[in-house]
């Protein structure tokens, strides 16, 4: 088997609480692996240790116990960050830089330069839909635009792995759908993605596998279908069915040994409705 994009082994992180004896355990004996090419979602309520785990993977925070590695390279080594792009939670960048300058700056930090860097920066701005804001300073950017420049910045050195901390937090539905589409696009290019979120609907649409963190411990892990499919139930959606037909179906079901446990009209979810209405009027 090839080296996993991310491997976390028996990771524990404790924070000292000022003026108190006991310590806060942010991550508790966490072990997980993300194979190359997979989109992995880390779920959990606020304060469950998602961001802390990600920062340890990126070498920004030192673990109390355990090890983490990116493509087999220990996170404590600077080289491990050659292959990874990171979008922090609520990303802030230098407000005095324009979008283009920001990308050039981060590119130079990855030892890129010259016209190749510039061309790449422009193409990334196009990818994230900021080509018209290239020369605007980030000080005037909205939350969604910052999130997008954060994505572009993470991609500047063409990494094989993306680590995204709450990529859609605080972004409007249209914006978060674009971010979701971007993630799907990266996945089709073979980029491994580790993302964390508490917005379950979106995770469901992009992730191959999820893990659920609770108080720092991984309490569930697996493929989404396996986790949430109710194996012994089947859903049937009909259009223009008459009451007589429904009664007939129900009778047949009983004869066949099945129980009808629910009946109703499916509704488009609010997000879909919102998107349809706003797109129609724009």
Ligand X SMILES: Nc1ncnc2c1ncn2[C@@H]1O[C@H](COP(=O)(O)OP(=O)(O)O)[C@@H](O)[C@H]1O
Q: Is the dihedral of CA 169, 55, 34, 218 positive or negative?
A: negative
Closest-by-Cβ residue to Mg ion is 51
Assess 202 for contact with ligand X (CB under 6 A).
Answer: no
Q: Kindly tell me which residue out of 40, 86, 141, 186 binds another protein, with binding defined by CB under 8 A.
A: 86
Assess 72 for contact with another protein (CB under 8 A).
Answer: yes
Query: Among Mg ion, another protein, ligand X, none, what does residue 144 contact (CB within 5–8 Å per kind)?
Result: none
Assess 68 for contact with another protein (CB under 8 A).
Answer: no
Q: For the segment 64-103, give every residue that binds ligand X (CB under 6 A).
A: none
Q: For the segment 3-62, give every residue that binds Mg ion (CB under 5 A).
A: 51
Assess 139 for contact with ligand X (CB under 6 A).
Answer: no
CA angle (61, 184, 82) in 5-degree steps: 35
Least distance to ligand X, CB of residue 50, Å: 3
Query: Among ligand X, another protein, Mg ion, none, what does residue 111 contact (CB within 5–8 Å per kind)?
Result: another protein
Q: Kindly tell me which residue out of 10, 31, 47, 62 binds another protein, with binding defined by CB under 8 A.
A: 62
Residues of this chain that interact with another protein (CB under 8 A) are: 2-3, 55, 58-62, 71-73, 78-86, 88, 90-94, 96-97, 105-106, 108-111, 113, 150, 153, 157, 160
């Amino acid at each position: 088997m090839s080296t996993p994009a991310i491997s976390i082994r028996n990771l524990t992180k404790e924070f000292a609480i000022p003026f108190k004896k006991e310590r806060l355990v942010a991550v508790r004996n966490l072990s997980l692996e993300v194979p190359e090419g997979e989109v992995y979602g880390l779920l959990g309520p606020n304060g469950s240790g998602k961001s802390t785990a990600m920062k340890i993977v990126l070498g920004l925070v030192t673990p109390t116990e355990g090890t983490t590695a990116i493509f087999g390279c220990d996170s404590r080594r600077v080289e491990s960050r050659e292959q990874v792009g990171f979008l922090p939670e609520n990303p802030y960048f230098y407000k005095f830089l324009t979008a283009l300058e920001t990308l050039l700056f981060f590119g130079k930090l990855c030892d890129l330069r010259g016209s190749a860097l510039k061309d790449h920066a422009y193409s990334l701005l196009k990818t994230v839909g900021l080509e018209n804001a290239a020369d605007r300073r980030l000080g005037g950017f909205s939350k969604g635009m910052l999130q997008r420049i954060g994505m572009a910045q993470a991609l500047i050195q063409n990494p094989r792995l993306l680590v995204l901390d709450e990529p859609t937090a605080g972004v409007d539905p249209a914006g978060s759908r674009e971010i979701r589409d971007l993630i799907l696009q990266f996945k089709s290019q073979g980029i491994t993605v580790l993302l964390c979120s508490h917005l379950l609907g979106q995770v469901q649409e992009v992730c191959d596998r999820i893990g659920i963190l609770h108080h720092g411990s991984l309490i569930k892990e697996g493929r989404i279908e396996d986790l949430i499919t109710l194996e012994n139930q089947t859903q049937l959606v009909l259009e223009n069915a008459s009451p007589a037909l429904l009664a007939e179906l129900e009778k047949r079901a009983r004869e066949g040994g099945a129980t009808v446990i629910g009946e109703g009209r499916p509704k488009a979810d609010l997000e879909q409705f919102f998107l349809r209405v706003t797109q129609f009027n724009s």
